[in-house]
Amino acid sequence: MKAINIIVVGVGGQGILTLASILSEGALAKGYEVLTAETHGMSQRGGSVIVHVRIGKDITAPLIPIGGADYILGLELIEVVRYLHYGNRNTFVIANDKVIAPPLAPKVPRAEELKSIIESRVNKAVFIPASNIALNLGVPQSANMVILGSIARILKNYVDLKVMKKLVSKVGRGKIAEANLRAFEIGYTEISKYVE
Strand partners, 36: 53
> What CATH number does residue 29 fall under?
3.40.920.10
- The answer to whether residue 80 is domain-embedded is yes
- The answer to whether residue 177 is domain-embedded is no
At 126, which amino acid appears? V
Whether the Cβ atoms of residue 148 and residue 187 lie closer than 8 Å to each other: yes
- The answer to whether residue 144 is domain-embedded is no
Range of the domain at 90: 4-130+151-160
What is the domain count for the chain? 1
- The answer to whether residue 170 is domain-embedded is no
> pLDDT digits over 15-73, tens only?
999 999 999 999 999 999 999 998 765 445 668 899 999 999 988 899 999 999 999 99
- The answer to whether residue 88 is domain-embedded is yes
- The answer to whether residue 169 is domain-embedded is no
Calculate mean pLDDT across residues 103-110.
Answer: 82
- The answer to whether residue 79 is domain-embedded is yes
Strand partners, 128: 96
Give the per-residue pLDDT at 42.
46
> Residues with Cβ < 8 Å from 30, sequence gap 6 or more?
158, 159, 160
Give the per-residue pLDDT at 196.
64
Q: Using CA atoms, how far apart are residues 65 and 62, in angstroms rounded to an integer? A: 10
In the sheet that holds 124-128, the strands lie side by side as 33-38, 48-56, 4-11, 71-74, 92-96, 124-128
- The answer to whether residue 145 is domain-embedded is no
SS3 for 24-72 is: HHHHHHCCCEEEEEECCCCCCCCCEEEEEEEEECCCCCCCCCCCCCCEE
